[in-house]
């Protein structure tokens, strides 16, 4: 995570708890909160870059920073910016875990942004009904409790924690390769004048989308790479057959910017309400 000195100074106005004496008391340390896991991070190199570093960066602190964030070791260990590694697909956070609830609240409150990010990444616009199906599926899979979920990868992990969804009737807004694959592999399918997937001769068209293989690793330049695969499948001889696939790299910075610098006129309140109807009760009284 790269940190910009000017922006950091502007955001904190050099006030405590962001600026405070180091443990030895001889220097000044800077702290922030990890945008992915909510743990305290120490800012390294804001005023004096260590050798070999081009930018200041955030390093997970090994203690709580009173007034800013408490250290949660379990959550820190699962954070890709602490240790990038493939998450255990089966590990779940406790139902009462406040962090899992915070993720759930983000899914609800940012659901229009989630739909937007997924549309940009897949080139497919899902109807409200499909989004509702995905929300119901996410609920059944308890997606907010998945250990690989954090506050930055919300749109992608939302999609990852759902089952396959039918693309019949859905609109392809920007994905020529997918259109080509449909034309090649599904002779009964057609696109109507609005680019929605439909059928040619009233026969059944079997076409589904799914998000698989969530992965996280450190690239050779030290950057965290988080990705999953978007695939479109049909059924042949009772087996799923992939007709299209695309690797989606999570652009977490973009999602972070989207939710921080919100343009309220652009928001789809109806989608947020949809998510609240489907998932809101899981927040319990803490909402
Ligand atoms: Zn973190």
Distance 252 CA to ligand 1 centre (A): 13
- pLDDT tens digits, one per residue of 250-276: 999 989 888 887 676 688 999 999 999
- In this predicted structure, the answer to whether residue 160 has a pLDDT above a threshold of 90 is yes
Total of domains in the chain: 2
Pair 151, 270 in one domain: yes
Distance 77 CA to ligand 1 centre (A): 8
Distance 189 CA to ligand 1 centre (A): 45
Pair 19, 106 in one domain: no
Pair 43, 123 in one domain: no
Pair 72, 173 in one domain: no
Query: 26, 50, 78: which is the final residue of a domain?
Result: 78
Pair 200, 115 in one domain: yes
Pair 169, 261 in one domain: yes
Pair 124, 56 in one domain: no
- In this predicted structure, the answer to whether residue 181 has a pLDDT above a threshold of 90 is yes
Distance 6 CA to ligand 1 centre (A): 22
Pair 58, 124 in one domain: no
Distance 278 CA to ligand 1 centre (A): 28
- In this predicted structure, the answer to whether residue 46 has a pLDDT above a threshold of 50 is yes
Distance 206 CA to ligand 1 centre (A): 41
Distance 35 CA to ligand 1 centre (A): 7
pLDDT at 153: 97
Q: What confidence tier does 285 reach under pLDDT thresholds 50, 70, 90?
A: low
Pair 72, 214 in one domain: no
- The bridge status of strand 165-166 relative to strand 208-218 is antiparallel
Distance 97 CA to ligand 1 centre (A): 16
In a domain, 102, yes or no: yes
pLDDT at 287: 45
Q: What is the mean pLDDT of the segment spanning 43-62?
A: 90
The domain of 59 spans 5-78
Pair 136, 249 in one domain: yes
Tokens 């939302």 found at = 158
- pLDDT tens digits, one per residue of 186-221: 999 999 999 999 998 888 899 999 999 999 999 888
In a domain, 41, yes or no: yes
Distance 81 CA to ligand 1 centre (A): 5
Pair 111, 52 in one domain: no
Distance 38 CA to ligand 1 centre (A): 6
Q: What confidence tier does 2 reach under pLDDT thresholds 50, 70, 90?
A: confident
Residue 150 backbone dihedrals phi, psi, to 5 degrees? -140, -175
In a domain, 93, yes or no: no
Q: What is the mean pLDDT of the segment spanning 61-73?
A: 94
Distance 37 CA to ligand 1 centre (A): 4
Q: What is the mean pLDDT of the chain?
A: 93
């Amino acid at each position: 995570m790269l940190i910009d000195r000017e922006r950091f100074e502007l955001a904190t106005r050099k006030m405590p708890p962001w600026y405070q004496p180091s443990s030895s008391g001889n220097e000044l340390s800077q702290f922030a909160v990890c945008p992915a896991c909510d743990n305290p991070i120490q800012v390294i190199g804001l005023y004096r870059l260590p050798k070999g570093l081009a930018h200041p960066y955030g390093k997970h602190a090994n203690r709580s920073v009173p007034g800013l964030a408490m250290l949660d070791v379990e959550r820190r260990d699962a954070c890709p910016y602490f240790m990038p590694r493939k998450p255990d697909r089966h590990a779940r956070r406790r139902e009462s875990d406040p962090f899992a609830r915070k993720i759930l609240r983000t899914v609800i409150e940012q659901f229009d942004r989630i739909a937007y990010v997924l549309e940009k990444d897949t080139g497919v616009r899902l109807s409200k009904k499909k989004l509702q199906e995905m929300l119901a599926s996410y609920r059944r899979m308890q997606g907010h409790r998945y250990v690989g979920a954090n506050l930055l990868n919300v749109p992608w992990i939302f999609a990852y924690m759902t089952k396959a969804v039918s693309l019949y009737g859905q609109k392809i807004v920007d994905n020529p390769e997918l259109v080509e694959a449909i034309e090649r592999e599904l002779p009964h399918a057609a696109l109507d004048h609005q680019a929605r997937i439909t059928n040619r001769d009233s026969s059944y068209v079997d076409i589904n989308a799914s998000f698989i293989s969530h992965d996280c690793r450190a690239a050779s330049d030290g950057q965290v790479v988080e990705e999953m695969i978007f695939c479109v499948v049909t059924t042949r001889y009772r087996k799923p057959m992939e007709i299209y696939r695309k690797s989606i790299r999570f652009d977490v910075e973009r999602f972070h910017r989207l939710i921080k610098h919100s343009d309220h006129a652009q928001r789809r309140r109806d989608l947020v309400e949809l998510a609240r109807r489907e998932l809101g009760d899981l927040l319990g009284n803490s909402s």
